Chains A and B, each alone.
Chain A
């Protein structure tokens, strides 16, 4: 999709390239020069390692203790009262009083040649673990879903800031002029806590906001289909007339914006073909679908359920379908593909949200698909140019959540929100496989090499070819950046290949 259409930019160009304020004249010239230089100030664009990114966000935040953190010491303390030193001065979302420590619920093994510890819940990921860099020392300063998701995705815990995808779309645009540069796919039956603000464009033009493509049987993009009774041929005829009439208007008034509008209508017509085509995973051969565990056309009943959590099934292929779609989108030049999978908030305080019963089901839904995605990208040679990021918005406590049940009950194993340490992994373009960072013996605090949310953002921008410190947009008197006003966020060089 030609979101970068020249005139649409001209509309807002004052805002885009900083201000020198010598009256409009010099400004316009500076802008032209800036555009010729690549659109931004000196040094903003740097050599890119990744052409596109597939970001897999597990909304609710999976338990790192039960997936990646092999902690024999924690197992030893299992069932004992949490020492006071870990509770004093801490704010928890739900834990009250003194909770009991809770060791990993599932068994761990060393995986791959690298011998990384991964729990039995992720056999698929274990099979490709040597392609992945696991970061066990992530941390954030937000401990509620909505603010933590916003901080991660927009760089600010409050609503109203541009999402990472919007920033990247603004900085780099789409490679395919018939497709949006930033596509969002959701599964799990709900949108994440912070809603559509997670792919909003904040103070950037709405041009750069994420386009949510729906896979539940309706139009993939809202109002993409012509109405019933308007065939493609009939639509073409009406658009021909529209174009001619707009041409007359342009000849009469001479406003360049009219030409843009003509172009955008033509583009919308092409999108009506190109979007459904790329969205149709039924075009994939069976063996590729099998690799992910995908089933074209499947619409899960959780998508319309008021509380989908109790309906989760391990063989639900919705997330797998979205992974296939993600690959098709990056293959077609979409820059930023953001997947959200809801249902990872395993507090154990009500049915359908436990570590012991729900987490294994959620893992089944994503594990084969993710392994398939990595293998498929590799066999297509796309792995080297696609960055994959996986994780939640924070971690989960090494203690059990105790506000509803004070002892462990089957189906009610739960952990509270934990901002101090969690695990994410990255793979693909520019990433050095292996592990980075460690937590302490019980997985409560970072042991070494902490990676903050802002470091992660800086690293992602860096890999995509944008200098995270220089890439900015002038708004409210500040040069706003994804990584925030301070220079706390630094590229994590150690994970780069």
Chain B
């Protein structure tokens, strides 16, 4: 609680301020907005007594000059019927507020445009003064305060590193800085680290409502982590914010858009999709488009357009027509709650790999084509050796046993079914084998079927093929066929299934049945002489049996026959790819590289992206009455809300135009909203505390001049986030000590005036990352698919979704929080307990809480226990362990207390060795010092540890 006296003095101050100099935007509008606008504001339908108080024109009636204008009478009267705001409205004016209104009316009731709708002006700063510090010290002086002393270097490096990278510094870095003391150099180095992008991406991902699942009932997974990595990369590259804006909102509409520019548009594909059975896709597409409108306005302009989708905004001048006209810009993309469109979005590594592999294949293929001098003679020699055309010798049919068909053999060895093809059949065919030769392989060539006939389907289903060797006077011997291969097999009917002993499936070749196909099998041992008996089971039905086919054998080495099933080059191809050593080697390599390339290509993630509908498919946008998409009214076309005029000359009337308008120099809000957001991350709250609302209902800026100075500078400096951050953190204001003195607490209780350094609890991800980093467990790996660090079993129990949480092992167990898999309907408990969101809707800021459930996480969650275990191993001494985490040295009493704890725990665990073993195991250790683990657990739970210093 704040001391009572502090509040009294504050009251005096604010009234004094009001007396001194009345400012409409600062003093009057907030009172009118909070108490009057809901009935006397922009919303025509809700307007009472035809009076509006949000414009000078509309207020005339109530402000007629005279001794007691209506407005004053109404707020001061004792008559309950006349009193404004009406007693049953729940609003009530305080004495001070009435006083302000009276003064304002006396002064002629001057109106002024809402401050945030006026373009920020460049603020003048006296020469030689650091602008931020100039504004802050001036204001502090007015209330009788001055800045706190600078924080010491250990505090400063911990603060800077945590703020800019989300990770703590190492002890070595701290020592280095202690020696050099060069803050600029330190800041440059920190801003250069990859951890910078990972940390600031989290802020943006909250806004982008990024998650790894689609939401609603099924809440299935969605591959969109490439977008998360795009954000990290863009921030690390310090992509100017105007470009950052354009690519995310309209990258697909840029001329010759690159993969990365289109990938950026996944930003608005983070909206939820409903896969629940029986849902109306259009309903959820519309919900997604509305979300895009609201989110865009929230993020860039700090305006809450959401309420205008049902009725004209009660406080800000945004009408229902305004809403749906702006909605029309976003209503023209292909996506419709069904997952598509997606685009292949290779990572940088994949892109490089593909390029390298393709180059290698090209080079090799070129070389394979080159024929060295000796080639022709070698080829001739080989051909002579094997006999021209003698790869395969067709077999002569000796006898046939069939149920339905009758086979005939032509002179060239081709077998055909005589007459009409039966529905199904099993053939036992006996062939003569060439005498005096051993043969190694069997080939069945299926030739095309005649057109027409009873069976439309020209496919064949050879469900099972068996082979026997028959030698006169001996019992028939079963032959084992191996290495089945075919030039083509139907999916699920791969050629191997023809010799698997089951008639469930076999070899077939739909949808390529119109072409001839071959299958080749090796005999597991070469055979010689006698007869070959083949049984061809073709009982599938529907006429799926051979009509024209040829059975051949070969005497050549099996590897020479490899090419038979795919090469069209005949003998030369076989020679080049299988026989001739120099080209064979290269060819083997080509095959291997091709396989590798295929694997890399298959691993490329597809990411949902935005794609504009083609001209003939564009949607007509209508106003949705009361926000109901089933009740559509007037047709509207793309335009900005009226209060902002129209798109600048030459801007395209689509998302690209909107994106450019948002970062146009004349836009009064975007830069302010963005610098305020950055400021809030560093100072715990924004200069405008309601980061989400810069409209009439929003908070008034504590430092309007500073806000405008920052906003103008941000644009002038090329929208560079890194420069903006550097400007802020190099100020004395930022570098103040965060010590709270009674005087400061009294005069500046919430540190709104910045009379001390900002001290507040780390974000959810930082709490995790810091524990992992200081203990040495953290896996420093940039990007990639989201990971699943341990969470208790049974936390995921979604309806109708088979997807499971599988605790990561190895490196992925210890990745930064930004990479943790986020399931919207079941977010990671250790993060949400520390106020992280669920990615359902745009989250402008996280409201910090301080709860006992948080204590349970950092005390007992396996991640934090394992961090304590690792830290205990790393600690050279109690003092060292303390410093590893907090950077500063412990005071002597802190050290004494830690020592006392260690001694107590040491005795405890010496007395109970089983407990010691169990604790070590809980902390992920095989052996170690259980007492030290418990001390490390305490260090990782210190208030100072969990707090930015």
Contact = CB atoms under 8 A, between A and B. Distances in A.
A362 to B, nearest CB: 16
A29 B7 contact: yes
Interface string B435-476: 000000000000000000000000000000000000000000
Contacts of A106: none
B856 A93 contact: no
A22 B216 contact: no
26 contacts: A10-B1, A11-B847, A11-B849, A19-B690, A23-B26, A23-B702, A24-B752, A26-B15, A28-B10, A28-B750, A29-B10, A41-B91, A43-B88, A91-B280, A94-B278, A159-B838, A159-B840, A227-B860, A229-B918, A230-B934, A242-B942, A244-B897, A248-B897, A253-B739, A253-B740, A268-B852
A477 B852 contact: no
A263 to B, nearest CB: 9
Interface in B673-690: 689-690
Interface string B832-872: 11010010110000011111111111011100010000000
A241 interface: yes
B859 A255 contact: no
A248 B893 contact: yes
Interface in B538-557: none
Interface stretch (B93-101, B498-506, B517-525): B93-101
Contacts of B752: 24
Task: Tell me whether chain B's interface is mostly helix, strand or loop, or mixed.
Answer: loop
A497 interface: no
Interface stretch (B58-66, B562-570, B774-782, B820-828): B820-828
Given A245-B898, A257-B850, 15 more contacts: A28-B10, A29-B11, A144-B278, A159-B272, A218-B794, A221-B856, A222-B833, A226-B860, A228-B919, A234-B905, A246-B943, A253-B739, A254-B740, A255-B740, A264-B855
Closest A-B pairs by Cβ, 9 of them: A195-B825, A93-B278, A229-B919, A21-B30, A229-B918, A25-B10, A477-B304, A227-B922, A25-B14
B279 to A, nearest CB: 5
B760 interface: yes
A176 interface: no
A228 B922 contact: yes
B258 interface: no
Contacts of A416: 278
B847 A248 contact: no
B857 to A, nearest CB: 6
A158 B310 CA distance: 15
Contact of A206 (B92, B219, B847, B855): B847
Interface string B611-655: 000000000000000000000000000000000000000000000
A230 B860 CA distance: 10
Nearest to B744: A254
Interface string A207-221: 100010010101101
Nearest to B933: A229
A193 B277 CA distance: 11
A461 B570 CA distance: 84
Interface stretch (B171-179, B312-320, B391-399, B716-724): B312-320
B797 interface: yes
Nearest to B944: A249
B131 interface: no
A37 to B, nearest CB: 11
B169 to A, nearest CB: 20
Interface residues of B, number: 136
Contacts of B859: 223, 226, 235, 268
B941 A265 contact: yes
Contact of A249 (B697, B921, B943): B943
Interface in B330-378: none
Contacts of A226: 859-860
A127 interface: no
A23 B794 CA distance: 48
Interface in A1-24: 1, 3, 5-8, 10-12, 14-15, 18-24
Contacts of B279: 93, 144
B1 A6 contact: yes
Nearest to A303: B794
B855 A265 contact: yes
Nearest to A345: B799
B415 interface: no
A418 to B, nearest CB: 12
Interface string A104-125: 0000000000000000000000
B272 A190 contact: no
Nearest to A474: B697
A245 B852 CA distance: 18
Contacts of A91: 280
B90 A41 contact: yes
B832 A206 contact: yes
Interface string A396-426: 0000000000000000000011000000000
A160 B826 CA distance: 13
B793 interface: yes
A256 B6 CA distance: 15
A477 B307 contact: yes
Contacts of A189: 797
A470 interface: yes
Interface of B: 1-2, 7, 10-11, 13-15, 17-18, 26-27, 30-31, 34, 38, 88, 90-92, 94, 96-97, 100, 215-217, 219, 272, 274, 276-280, 287, 291, 298, 303-304, 306-307, 310-311, 313-316, 689-690, 692-693, 695-700, 702, 738-742, 745, 749-750, 752, 759-761, 792-795, 797-799, 802, 824-827, 829, 832-833, 835, 838, 840-841, 847-857, 859-861, 865, 891, 893-894, 897-898, 900-901, 904-905, 908, 912, 915-923, 930, 934-935, 937-938, 941-944, 946-947
Given A20-B97, A23-B17, A144 B274 contact: yes
A8 B853 CA distance: 13
Given A44-B90, A230-B934, A268 B855 contact: yes
Nearest to B939: A245
Contacts of B739: 252-254
Interface string A143-157: 111110000000000
B750 A229 contact: no
Contacts of B310: 485
Contacts of B825: 191, 194-197
Nearest to A8: B850
A379 interface: no
Given A146-B276, A207-B849, A194 B217 contact: yes
Given A28-B749, A257-B850, A477-B695, A229 B307 contact: no
A82 interface: no
A267 interface: yes
A237 B700 CA distance: 48
Given A25-B13, A230-B922, A245-B938, A211 B853 contact: yes
Nearest to A149: B217
B915 A229 contact: yes
Nearest to B930: A229
A180 to B, nearest CB: 8
Contact of B792 (A41, A158, A222, A234): A222
Contacts of A5: 850
B40 to A, nearest CB: 16
Nearest to A23: B14
Contact of A24 (B750, B833, B860, B894): B750
Given A26-B14, A29-B7, A205-B849, A234 B915 contact: yes
Contacts of B901: 237-238, 240-241
A312 interface: no
A262 interface: yes
A388 to B, nearest CB: 25
Contacts of B14: 22-23, 25-26
A80 interface: no
Contacts of A12: 847-849
A188 to B, nearest CB: 10
Nearest to A218: B792
